[in-house]
Amino acid sequence: MSLGMIILGRQGSGKGTQAVRIAERFQVVHISTGDMLRSAVQEGTELGLKAKSIMDAGGLVTDDVVNGIVAERLAKDDVQNSGFLLDGYPRTVGQATELKQLVGESLKLAINLDVSIEEVTQRMMSRGREDDTPEAIARRLELYEAETAPLIKWFESENILCVIDGLGTEIEVHQRVIEEIERNIG
Ligand code: AMP
């Protein structure tokens, strides 16, 4: 597996949009656990049935379940050949340690797209996604601080963290991200 990256950021930070652009630019496979879970819900699979109520409430699907779908995806040929950009995973220290087990040294960079709680709340209120009720938004932000923010320190200690200011237009942020990735991975 060549180049492995992850993108972290509060819900509403624009990480999904940036992830699509980064994956295209660096020709790596974009893997969004949120998208995979939403497809499972739509298809009504067993996984989808398990995940739906948790997602609707803004909770986190269990590490076991998410680790399983990610491990399966990372084993596919396209990822093995081209590398990956994980979006929305890992979200807990348990997931991060599992990822390290799975990919080891291929994980080159953890991009933290930094946008304040106030700003992301405004953005989420206006995007109108089905799971964006005020309660679910509050719950997701709370869980991010409790479960995901500690990962920032974890990646820092692994020496692969890079923090990007997520304020500005999509293009401005994209430029910033590209410069940082090129600077870090050459
Ligand atoms: P996202 O599109 O990344 O905001 O994900 C939407 C929802 O899917 C989240 O609010 C969680 O309920 C669930 N989800 C996505 N990724 C994960 C993950 N890595 N761990 C646990 N739950 C997840």
CB 59 near ligand 1, within 6 Å: yes
CB 47 near ligand 1, within 6 Å: no
Tens of pLDDT, residues 39-82: 999 999 999 999 999 999 889 999 999 999 999 999 999 999 99
Tens of pLDDT, residues 12-28: 999 999 999 999 999 99
Pairing mode, if any, of strands 161-165 and 107-114? parallel
Confidence band, pLDDT 50/70/90 cuts, at residue 94: very high
CATH superfamily of 4-185: P-loop containing nucleotide triphosphate hydrolases (3.40.50.300)
Residues 43 and 51: beta-carbon distance below 8 Å: no
Residue 163, SS3 per DSSP: strand
Tens of pLDDT, residues 102-140: 999 999 999 999 999 999 998 888 887 777 888 989 999
Q: How far is the CA of 82 from the centre of ligand 1 (A)?
A: 24
* Percent of the chain topping pLDDT 90: 85
Q: How far is the CA of 62 from the centre of ligand 1 (A)?
A: 10
Residues 82 and 4: beta-carbon distance below 8 Å: no
CB 14 near ligand 1, within 6 Å: no
Q: Where are the domains of the chain?
A: 4-185
